[in-house]
Amino acid sequence: MLVNLDNEVIFKKAFTDIAVFKAFVRDILGIEVEVEKIETEKKFEPKIGYVDFELDIFAETVDKRICIEIQRVEYDHHFDRFLHYFLMLIAEQQRSSKEYDIERTVYVIVVLTAPYKISEKNGKPILDEVLLLKLNPQTLQGAIRELYGHQFVCLNPNHPNSETPKQIRDWLDLIYQSIHSPERPVLNMQNEGIKKAMELISFENLTPDERTRAKNKEAAKIVLAKTEQHAKQERSFEMAQIMIENNEPNEKIMLYTGLTVEQIEQARKGKDQ
């Protein structure tokens, strides 16, 4: 039985393993890397820009030419946050550079374990399994000039696409099935990286300390979800009270607040008391 990868403790156990990390990078980015140390909760001192950001999993290759960050997100964030991390890893190199040269190539991989809740500027929902951002200029005719190798990759297994390459599909299947089918996962055991990751996140292979910390993370997520739901409901009741004071009908209040007729009537009674 697998333990789900939307748990921070489990995700970091899997992807801070050097063999898993190298295989994941190879399959997602198409590059071979050599790393000696993988850091978690990576911060830069002094801060870069005005945001004190923290990287989930960070590593530099032995030759210091590539730095890779893997970010796990169990709930949806605006892409501005991801873009900020990506650009700050590039900007950070200017501290030690006498000129404007950016010696190290930056790769950021974001793994989302929940469906997107954001849309394009035209209102069209984003339902992509793999999104890529490369920082290379192009001509008016659309020809790309390969000046930089920096890449941002966003993976979301909740939006499957039949055209996703097999080596990427292996990891998306691992992430998705660890969450939704942990007892009977059907995965590519021929992929050595997948096989090693499965061993690491097998419930039987967790230490008592890892099980405790993973359980605490799950409990914290439940408390946070309940707190957010309570705050959301309070905002809905506040909006309903304003609409009631403006003599709006129940149908319109339901549309704007998401409250039921019973809840709206309850709010009306509270107003009259």
pLDDT in tens, 156-185: 999 999 999 999 999 999 999 999 999 999
pLDDT in tens, 181-233: 999 999 999 999 999 999 999 988 888 888 888 787 765 555 545 566 667 77
Domain boundaries, the chain: 8-206, 223-272
Query: In the numeric block, which tokens belong to residue 38?
Result: 């993988």
34 HSE (CA, 13 A, CB side) = 3
Stated pTM of the model: 0.76
Cα separation, 185 vs 197, whole angstroms? 13
The residue ranges of the chain whose pLDDT is under 70 are 46-52, 74-78, 95-101, 218-230, 271-273
The residue type of 89 is L
Distances, alpha carbon 262 to alpha carbons 45, 250, 253, in Å: 53, 10, 12
Q: What per-residue confidence (pLDDT) applies to 51?
A: 62
Cα separation, 126 vs 131, whole angstroms? 10
Cα separation, 1 vs 20, whole angstroms? 19
Tell me how many degrees the CA angle 96-25-4 measures, rounded to the nearest 5: 115
CA–chain centroid gap for 264, Å, is 36
3-state SS track over 71-87: EEECCCCCHHHHHHHHH
